[in-house]
Amino acid sequence: LQQRRGLRLSAPAAIQVTVRDALNQAMDEELERDERVFLLGEEVAQYDGAYKVSRGLWKKYGDKRVIDTPISEMGFAGIAVGAAMAGLRPVCEFMTFNFSMQAIDQVINSAAKTCYMSAGSIPVPIVFRGPNGAAAGVAAQHSQCFAAWYGHCPGLKVVSPWSSEDAKGLLKAAIRDDNPVVVLESELLYSVPFEMSEQAQSKEFVVPIGKAKIEKQGTHVTLVAHSRPVGHCLEAAAVLSKEGVECEVINMRTIRPMDIETVEASVAKTNHLVTVEGGWPQFGVGAEICARIMEGPAFNYLDAPAVRVTGADVPMPYAKILEDNSIPQVKDIVFAVKKVLNI
């Protein structure tokens, strides 16, 4: 009636959604969409998940679709891989990716290599997801970033979301993918709200795996990050903007396959590169990005050496002041940018 009267109808506005709720929405929508999808892991069902990411799913879908497992990562990861080989689409939650080391044989030797070793006849459509990297005050055995570890392995796809749209879209894409996908979440982002567009609220919204996103346009230096450090880069860019330095901030979103073309195009424009990550420096994600730029056409556009900002090369300390100094902070990014720009 309003349309007939010539009145303009306003589109539904963007809403604020936490990363936790975005992940929950993704699993809910995919469980509903495809009966082959199921979730398993420690405390994912009756307890609603250790971080409440699977809240309400057990009550909605029941014991066959949302399954509590014993504390045996190798056991339930192996069950999940076998289920994927048999035609189901498991979502295997690790309470933290540090615990995935108990199951790394299943992830790498069983899941990642089977499609290749079977000449493509046995796909393994499985998702391994859970919090990755540093949380707060949980010390060395619960704070490791596995982006470089899993990004190293052919046969896996590896995604690392930052915002709520990243989290929902990448998890849905991962569940629908016919390859093993590792979804590296950040525990410290679970409660952080982000704006979610009308498009992202759709049940068919997915973020393509293997495509980076430019979060902020800039002309002086390219900042490349994934997961929580993307937010740090945007904060550093705001600080530097007041000093006349305009940073271009790239959210990688996917670690493997890596969208190096977006980084190359940005470096060709800004002529400077700084990579930022929470993981260790040696053989890290930033090291790979720098190597790709060094070996490719964008190297000719660099006016200064690329600089990496990483976590400290130590097991994560427990004491808060030491922990803070082991993780890249906004001031570290600002310092690196000024170093690479020689200002």
Q: What angle do CA 251, 255, 260 make, to 5 degrees?
A: 70
Q: State yes or no: is 142 an active-site residue.
A: yes
Distance, CA of 20 to CA of 186 (rounded, Å): 10
Of 142, 226, 232, 272, which one is the catalytic site residue?
142
Written as one letter, the residue type at 323 is: E
Distance, CA of 119 to CA of 112 (rounded, Å): 13
Output the CA–CA distances (angstroms, integers) from residue 64 to 107, 178, 279, in the order listed.
23, 22, 37
- Looking up tokens 């998890």 gives 171
DSSP code of 7? P
Token pair in block for residue 33: 């969409």
Helix (H, G, I), strand (E, B) or coil at 154: coil
CB 91 within 8 A of CB 36: no
Of 29, 73, 187, 288, which one is the catalytic site residue?
73
Element (H, E) at 242: none
Distance, CA of 287 to CA of 285 (rounded, Å): 5
Distance, CA of 139 to CA of 257 (rounded, Å): 30
Q: Transcribe 191-236 into DSSP letters.
A: T-EEEE-TGGGSTT--PPTT--EEEE--SSEEEEE-STHHHHHHHH
Q: State yes or no: is 226 an active-site residue.
A: no
Catalytic residues, by residue number, are 73, 142
